[in-house]
Chains A and B, each alone.
Chain A
Amino acid sequence: MKIVIIGGGAVGLDLARNLSATDNDVVLVEQDAGVLQQAQEVLDCRFVAANGVSPAALSEIGMSDCDLFAAVTNRDEVNIIACLTARKLGAKVTTARVRDEDYYLGGHTVFPEIDLAINPDHEAAHRIREILFRAGAREAYLFAGGRVLVVAATVEPDSEVVGKSLRDLNTESGGAIALVTALDRAGQTVIPHGDTVLAAGDTVYFTGTRRLVDRSLFSLYAQRESLQRVMIAGATAMGVELARDLVAARVKVKLVDPDPERCRQASEQLHHVLVLNSDPVDFAPLIDEGIGEMDGYVAVGADEEINILCCLLAKRHGVRRTVCLVNRADYVELLPQLGIDAAISPRKATAVAIARFVKRGAIVSAEQLGFSNAEILQYRVAKDHLAVGVPLAKLGFPRGAVIGAVIKRNGVETPGGRTVLKPGDEVLVFTLPAVLPEVERFFTAERDRK
């Protein structure tokens, strides 16, 4: 498969690394020769020093046999024009990274030529918001425009659910509980079944509507989050988006950034947010700003070490919940031991989303669960698919994978053995890496048979 990536920034390099690890021919296009030089040493792909919107340069790279074209520079206009040009020259699938609210229309742009628009900052901000609003939540994923939520939470040793099987939990609540669609135990991700017994320290993934997920979390923690004050360190695109999100939910937000210019820009975009020009590591002024009374603290600065440090300091000053932006996997593993409640890695998420989109088929979106290799895939059921009209129990769905939610046009259903899929429905599939090919075959095979 031939993949062309425009932009050698952090997102582009991550994407190139991910995609070139499997059997793909990756071409990385970047204007800055210095950046290319560095990339050449660590990546196994072809490098072209050129302007990614230049039709001449794109023709030379060859668009007619390009299976995926991904424009991920940090400039929206460049990405959009690059995609339009590539499509014109014959690229099969195009994706653009789009950050401006004006251009980004939830996975799309106004151009039908762009198959997928991604906005990592936006998505990450929404996730952080969902985590902050839920006691005990460690990860959160949104699907179908936020209609379906997947939230990860850890089972505390003193929780009353310890020792109960999932089936018991379900009967106790009278079915009014979200499905547990994946479970992390001692670093191992499994797809649970009815007889799986919960143990202290397990991380469970609840899937369902907001109401169901909230009810399930309540059964786990017996407490509701009351989020009133949040401090955000880093007036980055993500920080600003998160602040906007939280203010819309009537949370009082203070946004801290050391750069005066970024502060000014943020304050011109955010009404009702107190923007402070201060070094987030220097806590003396932040104590004056009442950091101890914050319900949540989120560090989304550009430097991940500083983010971790900020969260630790915030925790020390008595902040209840801390969320940290970290991109390096080895740091993420440290966070629970350090007492940081949740980690967000938008770059990884972007790479996964684009990589899954390669196997175009009927995939709507894709996410990776935390830093395990288990994935959530959102498929649209094709008209002639073999699953149409057959109860799920009789489908022979691959073991090691499970359908977590069925998204209908007018609502979300919790799947059971008797659930029947219709064409146009979307299903959320949780799958372990080992059965990924099987799942893919399941959702694409029938198309070939016809």
Chain B
Amino acid sequence: MNKRAVIRVLGFLLGVTSLGLLAPALVSALYRDGDEWSFLATAAIGAALGGLLWRLGSSAREIHVREGFAVVTLGWLTVGLLGGLPAWFSGQIPCFTDAVFESISGFTTTGASILADIESRSHGLLFWRSLTHWFGGMGIVLLALAILPLLGVGGMQLFRAEVPGPLHERLTPRISQTAKLLWGVYVLLTVLEAAALRLAGMSLFDAICHAFATMATGGFSTRNASVGAYANPAIHWIIIVFMFLAGTNFTLHYLALRGKLRAYTRDDEFRFYFSVIAIAFVLISLPLVLQQVYPTLEQAARHGLFQTVSIMTTTGFVTADYLLWPPVAHAVLLVLMAVGGCAGSTGGGIKVVRLLILFKAAKSELQKLLHPRAVTTLWFNGRAVPAQLATNVLGFLLLFMLIYIAGIVVLTLSGHDLLSAVGATAATLGNIGPGLGSVGPVENYAHFLGWEKWLLMFFMVVGRLELYTVLVLFLPEAWRRT
């Protein structure tokens, strides 16, 4: 591995993050919170460290497979650590572990918080939490690629390592151009949502923060009761729509903006994504209606749909405490936690396309029982899928389940009840945020021990970078010289 090239790119990423830190400093100054110095100090540290790494490193014109994995994983870790410093410096989160937990939860768009009282924090910090979501949603490395044509070759390696999904499509011949287009769509949707929320009656600050958190499928809110704090149904509906869009492949949005609206209905994954949400919505809302949990049909439908879309897209906003709902809701939501968004979206989880490919593979295995001599091919979006992909996806699912089970075993060993252990693992590995049991929608992660929090942070990064990118670095040959 060309370690010096990796070091240089890391320096660059730190520099970009430092620039990002100027935004919350400005917000703090505007609202006279008095903690703008913590952001500026962090930015200075980031810039200095970034500059140092940049000098230490060597030309990064060539990034190959191994460097790509290292850059993305280490980049997420260093940026995550840096992002935790302001809250720690200003004393708003006095424990270093907690501060980093909040930052990594932000960048990985998980939205799991250790804060019990969010509303008492400074505007600057709340803005920074939402901004970490927004940076992490489309990918910090991708952002860097979009801003600067830093890399000649190897951009695709980074793109592949950071953008979710088993299949990667380039919209344009140049990867930096593709990155720009995806970021463009992302910015456009964020602006639209912020405007819509503002019109629906939210304050401008809340509207922007919620738009950041929605489009990144993050889940940090500026209110203790999350989106449930807003009584206006219009706000709920707006956020439902944008969560749904954020969980869709952004390539489709891009095509739709170019006038190809049929791209949605033609996409196998989108259709499956839509059907899963529709089925889960019925399974969750029907008991709510039958058991008259809510006084009106609209409320049952709205709260049912909000929680369904929020968990499925791995956003993690809540408008109601679903732990008080009938048990079938818990079961369905637990399944949705694992499914996650579409490939190429900002959502986490296993991804809809992987499940779809596995279903197709399972169907073709069944078919082979009936027709022993059949030669089958998997089809996705009207094209034959390489046979290797099914194996790759199967391996992914196996690893995902192994980590999931390991997480549950370790957390129960440490004394948590089964429901909480399952909830916490699923919610961090799937980048969702709220889980079940003691980490339910009205609870937080403050009660976990220090080392448990680091474990959950590891799950968040592993989940966000889709296992392989991180896990491959545990192979010794990844670090050897080529």
Contact = CB atoms under 8 A, between A and B. Distances in A.
B379 interface: yes
Contacts of A267: 375-377, 384
A92 to B, nearest CB: 41
Nearest to A254: B371
A285 B377 contact: no
A278 B372 CA distance: 10
B382 A275 contact: no
B375 A277 contact: yes
B377 A276 contact: no
Contacts of A278: 373
Contact of A277 (B373, B382, B384): B373
A274 interface: yes
A266 B376 CA distance: 10
Interface in B249-304: none
A268 interface: yes
Interface string B362-374: 0000010001111
Interface in A316-363: none
A260 B375 contact: yes
Interface in B341-389: 367, 371-377, 379, 382, 384
Interface string B231-265: 00000000000000000000000000000000000
A264 B375 CA distance: 6
Contacts of A263: 375
Contact of A275 (B372, B374, B379): B374
A37 interface: no
A271 B375 contact: no
Contacts, number: 32
A276 B368 CA distance: 10
Contact of A274 (B371, B379, B382, B384): B371
Nearest to B382: A271
Contacts of B384: 267-269
Q: Tell me which of A268, A269, A289 has the highest count of chain B C-beta atoms within 10 A of its own C-beta.
A: A268
A271 B373 contact: no
A275 B373 CA distance: 8
Nearest to B387: A264
Interface in A265-299: 266-269, 271, 274-278, 285, 289
A276 B375 contact: yes
A441 B374 CA distance: 56
Interface footprint category on B: 10 to 19
Nearest to A278: B373
A267 B368 CA distance: 14
A276 B379 contact: no
Contacts of A260: 375
Given A268-B384, A269-B384, A271-B382, A285 B375 contact: no
Most chain A beta carbons < 10 A, residue from B367, B376, B382 = B376
Contacts of B376: 267, 275
A357 to B, nearest CB: 36
B36 to A, nearest CB: 60
A268 B377 CA distance: 6
Contacts of B382: 271
A236 to B, nearest CB: 15
A289 B371 CA distance: 7
A268 B372 CA distance: 18
A215 B367 CA distance: 40
B324 to A, nearest CB: 47
B379 A285 contact: no
B394 to A, nearest CB: 19
For B372, B377, B382, the residue with the greatest tally of chain A CB atoms inside 10 Å of its CB is: B377
A278 B375 CA distance: 10
Interface in B369-421: 371-377, 379, 382, 384
Nearest to A262: B375
A289 B384 CA distance: 24
Contacts of B377: 264, 267-268
Contacts of A264: 375, 377
Nearest to A255: B375
B240 to A, nearest CB: 35
Most A CB contacts (10 A, CB to CB) among B373, B374, B379 go to B373
A266 to B, nearest CB: 8
A275 B364 CA distance: 12
A232 to B, nearest CB: 14
A254 to B, nearest CB: 9
B267 to A, nearest CB: 16
A447 B159 CA distance: 66
A260 B379 CA distance: 19
A263 B371 CA distance: 14
B273 to A, nearest CB: 21
Contacts of A285: 372-373
Nearest to B377: A267
Contacts of A269: 384
A294 to B, nearest CB: 15
Nearest to A267: B377
A271 B384 CA distance: 8
B383 to A, nearest CB: 9
Contacts of A268: 377, 384
A269 B382 CA distance: 10
A267 B379 CA distance: 10
B387 to A, nearest CB: 9
Contacts of A266: 375
B283 to A, nearest CB: 31
A278 B382 CA distance: 26
A80 B391 CA distance: 39
B256 to A, nearest CB: 25
A149 B195 CA distance: 62
Nearest to A279: B373
A146 B382 CA distance: 26
Contacts of A271: 379, 382
A285 B370 CA distance: 12
Interface string A236-270: 00000000000000000000000010011011110
Nearest to B379: A271
B1 to A, nearest CB: 36
Contacts of A274: 367, 371, 374
A277 B377 CA distance: 13
A376 to B, nearest CB: 37
Most buried by A among B367, B374, B379, B382: B374
A274 B374 CA distance: 7
B403 to A, nearest CB: 33
A278 to B, nearest CB: 5
A89 to B, nearest CB: 36
Nearest to B367: A274
A270 to B, nearest CB: 8
Contacts of B372: 285
B114 to A, nearest CB: 50
Q: Which of B372, B375, B382, B384 has the most chain A CB atoms inside 10 A of its CB?
A: B375
A295 to B, nearest CB: 19
A93 B373 CA distance: 48
Contacts of B373: 276-278, 285, 289
A293 to B, nearest CB: 14
Given A267-B376, A285-B372, 5 more contacts: A260-B375, A263-B375, A269-B384, A277-B373, A278-B373
Interface of B: 367, 371-377, 379, 382, 384
Interface of A: 260, 263-264, 266-269, 271, 274-278, 285, 289
25 contacts: A260-B375, A263-B375, A264-B375, A264-B377, A266-B375, A267-B375, A267-B376, A267-B377, A268-B377, A268-B384, A269-B384, A271-B379, A271-B382, A274-B367, A274-B371, A275-B374, A275-B376, A276-B371, A276-B374, A276-B375, A277-B374, A285-B372, A285-B373, A289-B371, A289-B373
In the A-B complex, the 7 residue pairs with the smallest Cβ-Cβ separation, listed nearest first, are A268-B384, A263-B375, A267-B377, A275-B375, A276-B373, A278-B373, A267-B375
